[in-house]
Structure 1
Amino acid sequence: MTTPETSPAPSPAPNRHAKKRSAAAPGDAIRDWWGNLGRVQKWAFGVIGFAVMTLLPIYTPGFIDTPGVSFDGVMAQFAMIAIVAIGLNVVVGQAGLLDLGYVGFYAVGAYTVALITSPQSPWNQMGPHGFFSSDWAWLSCVPLAIAFTALAGLILGFPTLRLRGDYLAIVTLGFGEIIRLLADNLNDVTNGSRGLGSIAFPRLGESKVHDGYFSGANAMGNVNNGTWWYWLGLIFVAVILLMVGNLERSRVGRAWVAIREDEDAAEVMGVNTFRFKLWAFTIGAGIGGLSGALYAGQVQFVAPTNFNIINSMLFLSAVVLGGQGNKLGVIFGAFIIVYLPNRLLGVHLFGVNLGDLKYLFFGLALVLLMIFRPQGLFPVRQQLLAYGKRARYLLRRADDSKAAA
């Protein structure tokens, strides 16, 4: 008969999560690897990744090239949609607010630039009698686009953010349609369905023989106007990621996570849920306005048909595909949304152009994702936001002590 002092130590219980980790999807492995890196290591990999992304339009690998369309233009479009995805991720992924009309903020930013700089607008402020010089008009309009769009988010959010779930989704859907219908029917201001053209763009590198780096006429060599717009978009993406990352680690970010997980519990614990939801809505709207300003400057033409509900659904698809709450994941989702249709453009199967079936592919992808991986390709990594590394170290040491006892 064995006494308690001499009885063998019980074998540790099998780790139920070990099998899950071994069968983890590639997205989980990448997410966990990134989450376990130190801050300096993350900065180092981030700088390297940014450099690789910067050189991608110049040294394009053949396996990712888009034969049917300019790869530089595709990457410029990707940079714009990536900004949209980051802004929508603040609203949907971090604060848990279902926004189906985010394209409305995108339209407000684009029309702000168009109304101020287009010769067809009655509010044109360019030239000798306007407030903005022709050389700096677009750059001067960017902060205005951000401010006006953030104000639109504040005005929309103040009366509606007391709603939740489907009710909030319907209200935001209506807002997106209201902006589009206003642009279509205010003929004296927005030129109606004919749109506004000749919108200002950055006048950089102009000379007697060159129209500038950002001009549509700059189509020479590997570094054309699409490349320059892509580089400008990457700079904005990096700045926004830094800003959103700091917000995630702040009291505001922790409040957003609490609201997303359980709004009632967060309110009981003293979180002013309405104020923090309004913060998320306003910040997300301002980021969407920035992307709209980029769109207006690059395309130099805006019309109501460019801001329909289908585009709003594509923006939301980028967030859902990439992983709600993961700001790097939604950038990958934006890349899929932009790259896949352009890559399949001109590819025929049974006489059908696969590039024309992008909505079918995205619909199937979302259905499969909801069945097999509802959290997205790169789900957000839940961890302690303050002193996370120290807490994990102490928990791991406690587990080791128990196993050795």
Structure 2
Amino acid sequence: MPKNKKSSYLLTMALVVVLYGVSAFLVASGRINKYVSGILVMVLVNIILTVSLNLASGFLGQLVLGHAGFMSVGAYASALFTLNSGLPISVAFPLSILIAGVVAVIFGILIGIPALRLKGDYLAIITLGFGEIIKVLINFFDFTGGARGLRGIPRVVDKSSGISVEFVKFSYAFFLAVLTIYLITAFIRSRHGRAVIAIREDEIAAEASGINTTYYKLLAFVMAAFFAGVAGALYAHHLGVLNPAKFDFNYSVEILVMVVLGGMGSITGSVVSAIALTILPELLRGFSDYRMLAYSVILILVMLFKPTGLMGGYEFSLSRLVRKLRGKNKEKAEQEKVGAAK
């Protein structure tokens, strides 16, 4: 591995560890109350959803409007497993996260094979339709709780353990969000990721170059579904109750808005917009009568003055920032030397 790349990874890893250490200490010690820690968990869940949808809509270039459907499948699969497995929750919950991702992948394959034959508006409509079908099925079956919802979902840790529930939920959400960002970034920078971007730029040219467009489109779509399922598992055990009405068309659009606002094809933008659009409605709760109006106006203004999104196609790099700062300091020192010589 080149020295610059190695130092970049080490810097990023150090930043992640410090960020987790400070946040986890504040949550575990109670300096951050349950309300704020709950918002932090939802920020991390939305980061997973936004970054994963960006893979399908931003990097692959396919308009997907059924992401909440994959999240709901993962949420219910995870909750039903922990409710019925009979295993201790400390064992059942990590397994349920994996099961949620796998079940979402199965639905992703079933939906992706017919849906990805279409493009543009037609693809958006068919994914929207499948998302609504999933919601109808959840409402229909008794084992999912039907329209009443699923209640009594166990906590992520036993009370008898003495460990803070908020701390454990935050830790799971933090590390899964970091893992999602890392894996999708690594995928995009790989040969497979370049094939996916080539399909977005020109599908006909990509196919003529020997890229198996059907395979790569399905791969990106299924990966996005997997991480949406994982986010669903976190969401289910964070709230402890599931309501099928939550996973409707509006929620899919909300996730897509986060992707577009951050910048299509920018993972940094997805993270920034997920944080901003999760915290902003909470900050505006004091203006309950005008909250949604203010929220909408802010979105419109951003899209008018920054149509490519907050970050465009830019990706933040800690090592690049350090190099810039070093370069500026070096340039300043040289200027001071020249000034002293004169």
Matching residue of 2:219: 279
Selected match of 1:323 from 259, 263, 273? 263
Name the counterpart of 2:336: none
Would the aligned equivalents of 1:138 and 1:200 in 2 still touch at CA under 8 Å?
A: no
1:190-269 equivalences in 2 (<5 Å): 190-203=144-157, 206-207=160-161, 210=162, 212-214=163-165, 225=166, 227-269=167-209
RMSD of Structure 2 on Structure 1 (CA): 2.5
Deviates more, 1:299-308 or 1:48-57: 48-57
Q: Give the TM-score normalised by structure 2.
A: 0.83
Mapped pair 1:50 → 2:1: no
Q: 1:110 aligns with which of 68, 75, 97?
A: 75
Instruction: Please give the per-residue CA displacement for 1:108-128, whole angstroms capped at 9, x wherever unaligned.
Output: 00010122233xxxxx332xx
Seen in structure 2, the aligned counterparts of structure 1 residues 66 and 205 have a Cα distance that, compared at 3 Å, is closer
Unaligned runs of 5+ in 1: 1-36, 119-123, 127-131, 215-224, 383-405
* Cα shift at 1:77: 0.7
Q: CA separation in 1, counterparts of 2:248 and 2:138? A: 11
> Which of 108, 126, 131 matches 1:176?
131
2:92 to 118, 137, 154: 137
2 CA distance for matches of 1:154 and 1:284? 11
> Per-residue CA shift, 1:332-353, capped at 9, x if unaligned?
110011110111222x3xxx54
Letter in 2 for 1:326: S
Amino acid of the structure 2 residue aligned with 1:296: A
Aligned to 2:62: 97
The 8 Å contact of residues 113 and 199 in structure 1, kept in 2 or not, is answered as: no
Distance 1:116 1:239, change over 3 A: same
Partner of residue 301, structure 2: 368
Matching residue's letter, 1:263 = E
Query: Is contact 2:48-2:228 (8 Å) kept?
Result: yes
Q: Distance in 2 between matches of 1:295 and 1:153?
A: 19
Q: Distance in 1 between matches of 2:23 and 2:299?
A: 28
Counterpart AA for 1:42: S
Structure 2 letter corresponding to 1:251: R
Is the contact between residue 66 and residue 131 of structure 2 (CA under 8 Å) also seen in structure 1? Answer: yes
Whether 2:138 is the aligned partner of 1:189: answer: no
Q: In the alignment, is residue 125 of structure 1 matched against residue 85 of structure 2?
A: yes
Count of aligned residue pairs for this structure pair: 309
What CA distance in whole angstroms lies between the structure 2 residues aligned with 1:74 and 1:311? 17
Q: Following TM superposition, by how much is the alpha carbon of 1:228 offset from its aligned partner in structure 2, in angstroms? A: 3.3
Matched, 1:377 2:310: yes
Indicate if the aligned counterparts of 2:48 and 2:181 stay in contact, CA closer than 8 A. no
Match of 2:319 in 1: none
Aligned to 2:160, the other structure's residue is in SS state coil
The one-letter amino acid paired with 1:198 is G
How much does 1:192 deviate?
Answer: 1.1
Alignment correspondent of 1:162: 117
Q: Distance in 2 between matches of 1:185 and 1:82?
A: 30
Task: Give the corresponding residue for 1:73.
Answer: 38
Whole-angstrom distance in 2 between the partners of 1:265 and 1:381: 25
| Whole-angstrom distance in 2 between the partners of 1:276 and 1:52 | 36
Unaligned runs of 5+ in 2: 316-342
Residues 54-97 of structure 1 deviation map (CA, whole Å, 9 limit, x = unaligned): 2247559xxxx999x82211111101111111111111111111
Q: Distance in 2 between matches of 1:177 and 1:376?
A: 28
The residue number in structure 1 matching 2:323 is none
Where has structure 1 moved over 6 Å in runs of 4 or more?
none
- In structure 2, distance between residues paired with 1:38 and 1:377: 28
Q: Is the 8 A contact 2:89 2:156 kept in 1?
A: no
* Aligned equivalents of 2:281, 2:307: Cα separation in 1: 23
**Structure with a larger share of its residues in helix:** 2
Q: Which AA in structure 2 matches 1:339?
A: I
Give the percent of matched residue pairs that are identical in Structure 1 and Structure 2. Answer: 34
